[in-house]
């Protein structure tokens, strides 16, 4: 009975760079909050990272530990959550091959997040096939662990939809062995970049990293894009679409103070510098303790790697069971 009622979480991050405040708002916060209520698996997606970094495996490898340090720094507890290195779970690749037969090229081409990423990353004309089909490999990640819940940022919603379609198609075509997952998207679902672009991304050069030193955070905040029509402090300003306010919405605990600030900005008479100073303070309150914990863990990278190996050993036990179910069903 216990095994039947265990609810599982799977999430993860591509190991393409250190994590940023968008990850914190979009997914890390939820993972930390839920890690004791669900059996939680967190995937260091180094195989997926290669889909647009094939020429750069060293970067992908080096960031396995960097991302793991970010996990520990924000409070993912390796005694309750299991952190798994994707490349050490080869069953995921085999599941991907079977699922690819259940998805059409046309359907893959309609995935709005992949379309946007192809544009953002400038992959038009030389798009790696592996990148184009990565939503299918994500379906393999999620189902390999039999996850019920997937806490992710809003950009990942189309991936979960596609996973559900694959699960339904598989269960209908063969027999019902795969778990249908559900996405968990937070309120501040998608943090824009410091440049005002749609999404903060670790490969996009517009991120504030959890590991940035205090002066760097301050410099990035002071250089942020705001309302381009707000030229003088006395001018009325726009709050919507202004990333400084998006960040305050996501992280400022003083909701009343923030509401008054927005009102003043809209009315005019409030300079960008004042608002940015407030944001710099709010972010420092958030990031100061995270940075300190990260520095502590970073003093012993060997222990960090040992922890990752142990987690992977434990976590990868689930994947062969799923693969076995899948092969039998087929
Ligand atoms: P890359 O640029 O290499 O794709 P990324 O910053 O998009 O990196 P991912 O590893 O692709 O990060 O995403 C990991 C998780 O973080 C996903 O759940 C994703 O939805 C979430 N996430 C990423 N960027 C943001 C953002 N700007 N706002 C909210 N959530 C985000
Ligand atoms: Mg991404």
Is the Cβ atom of 51 under 6 angstroms away from ligand 1? no
Tokens representing residue 135 in the block: 């939503």
C-alpha closest to that of 288 among 74, 86, 129 = 74
Show pLDDT as tens, one digit a residue, over the chain (330 residues).
Answer: 445 568 999 999 999 999 999 999 989 999 999 999 999 999 999 999 999 999 999 999 999 999 999 999 999 999 999 999 999 999 999 999 999 999 999 999 999 999 999 998 999 999 999 999 999 999 999 999 999 999 998 899 999 999 999 999 999 999 999 999 999 998 767 899 999 988 898 888 899 999 999 999 999 999 999 999 998 999 999 999 999 999 999 999 999 999 999 999 999 999 999 999 999 999 999 999 999 999 999 999 898 889 999 999 999 999 999 999 999 999
Tokens representing residue 2 in the block: 């216990």
Q: Say what the pTM is.
A: 0.93
Is the Cβ atom of 43 under 6 angstroms away from ligand 1? no
Report the separation in Å between the CA atom of 33 and the middle of ligand 1, taken as the mean of its atom positions: 18
C-alpha closest to that of 154 among 25, 10, 21 = 25
Distances (CA, A) of 181 to 158, 232, 285, 316: 13, 50, 35, 19
Task: Identify the pLDDT of residue 1.
Answer: 42
CA distance from start to end of the chain = 27
Neighbouring CB atoms inside 10 A of 293's CB total 15
Query: Ligand 1 atom closest to Cα of 19?
Result: 6
Q: Are 170 and 178 in contact (CB under 8 A)?
A: yes
Q: How far apart are CA 152 and CA 213, in angstroms?
A: 26
Is the Cβ atom of 191 under 6 angstroms away from ligand 1? yes
Q: How far apart are CA 206 and CA 194, in angstroms?
A: 5
Substitution site in 11, 22, 130 for ligand 1 pocket (most atoms within 8 Å of beta carbon): 22
The neighbouring-strand residues paired with 151 are: 184
CA-CA-CA-CA torsion sign (263, 269, 271, 272): positive
Task: Identify the pLDDT of residue 327.
Answer: 98
C-alpha closest to that of 245 among 258, 228, 264 = 258
DSSP string, 124-183: TTS--HHHHTHHHHHHHHHHHTT-SEEE--GGGHHHHHHHHHHHHHHHHHS-S-SPPPEE
């Amino acid at each position: 009975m216990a095994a039947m009622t265990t609810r599982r979480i799977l999430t993860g991050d591509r190991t393409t760079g250190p994590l940023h405040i968008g990850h914190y708002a979009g997914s890390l916060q939820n993972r930390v909050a839920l890690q004791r209520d669900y059996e939680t698996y967190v995937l260091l997606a180094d195989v997926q990272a290669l889909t647009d970094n094939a020429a750069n495996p060293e970067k992908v490898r080096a960031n396995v530990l960097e991302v793991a340090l970010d996990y520990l720094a924000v409070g993912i507890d390796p005694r309750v959550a299991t952190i798994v290195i994707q490349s050490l779970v080869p069953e995921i690749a085999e599941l991907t091959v079977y699922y690819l037969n259940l998805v059409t090229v046309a359907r893959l081409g309609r995935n709005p997040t992949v379309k946007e990423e192809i544009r953002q990353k400038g992959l038009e004309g030389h798009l790696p096939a592996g990148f184009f089909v990565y939503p299918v490999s994500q379906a393999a990640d999620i189902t390999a662990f039999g996850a019920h819940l997937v806490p992710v940022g809003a950009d990942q919603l189309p991936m979960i939809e596609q996973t559900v379609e694959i699960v339904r198609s598989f269960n209908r075509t063969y027999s019902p062995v795969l778990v249908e997952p559900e996405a968990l998207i937070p309120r501040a679902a998608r943090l824009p970049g410091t440049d005002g672009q749609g999404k903060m991304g670790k490969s996009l050069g517009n991120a504030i990293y959890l590991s940035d030193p205090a002066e760097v955070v301050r410099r990035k905040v002071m250089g942020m894009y705001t309302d381009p029509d707000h030229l003088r402090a006395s001018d009325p300003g726009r709050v919507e679409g202004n990333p400084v306010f998006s960040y305050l919405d996501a992280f400022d605990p003083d909701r009343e103070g923030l509401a008054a600030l927005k009102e003043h900005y809209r009315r005019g008479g409030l300079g960008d510098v004042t608002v940015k100073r407030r944001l710099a303070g709010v972010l420092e309150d958030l990031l100061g303790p995270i940075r300190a914990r990260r520095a502590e863990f970073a003093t012993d990278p060997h222990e960090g790697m040992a922890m990752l190996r142990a987690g992977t050993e434990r976590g990868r036990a689930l994947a062969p069971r799923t693969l076995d179910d899948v092969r039998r069903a087929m």
